């Protein structure tokens, strides 16, 4: 069964193009190491919640947008091996491609796909 890594982050709106450039450099790296797809989405209709919300989860500030991203893999095994290779790749080092957002507020996790229609 396929496997998905999901990510939610707060990115300064002034860094939208820098984020797009960062993602454009990272996507081929993940694909080289086994990812099937890399999807990046810039928040357009992300409401504030009362108990929970994307904005609350990443502690979004007024000058930031929520980004929602995911990477699909053929399996958990391919994902684990792929991430190991990605993390060892020199292109992943922050000096080569610094994060255009506060990585401490990044939320991520791996998920076994239950259904895809």
Cβ atoms 11, 98 nearer than 8 A: no
- pTM here? 0.92
What kind of fold does domain 8-65+73-112 have according to CATH? Alpha-Beta Plaits (3.30.70)
Spell out the domain ranges in the chain: 8-65+73-112
What gap in Å lies between CA 111 and CA 52, rounded to an integer? 20
Give every CB contact of residue 25 below 8 A, 6+ residues apart in sequence: 91, 97
What tens digit of pLDDT does each residue of 33-71 get?
Answer: 999 999 999 999 999 999 999 999 999 999 999 999 999
Mean pLDDT across the chain, nearest whole number? 94
| pLDDT over threshold 80, residue 100 | yes
């Amino acid at each position: 069964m396929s496997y998905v890594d999901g990510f939610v982050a707060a990115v300064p709106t002034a860094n939208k193009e820098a984020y797009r450039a960062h993602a454009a450099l990272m996507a081929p790296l993940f694909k080289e190491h086994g990812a099937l797809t890399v999807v990046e989405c810039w928040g357009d209709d992300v409401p504030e919640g009362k108990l929970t919300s994307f904005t609350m989860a990443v502690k979004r500030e007024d000058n930031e947008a929520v980004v929602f991203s995911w990477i699909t893999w053929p399996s958990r095994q391919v994902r684990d091996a792929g991430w190991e290779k990605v993390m060892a790749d020199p292109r992943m080092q922050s000096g080569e491609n610094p994060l255009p957002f506060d990585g401490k507020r990044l939320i991520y996790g791996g998920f076994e796909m239950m259904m895809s229609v």
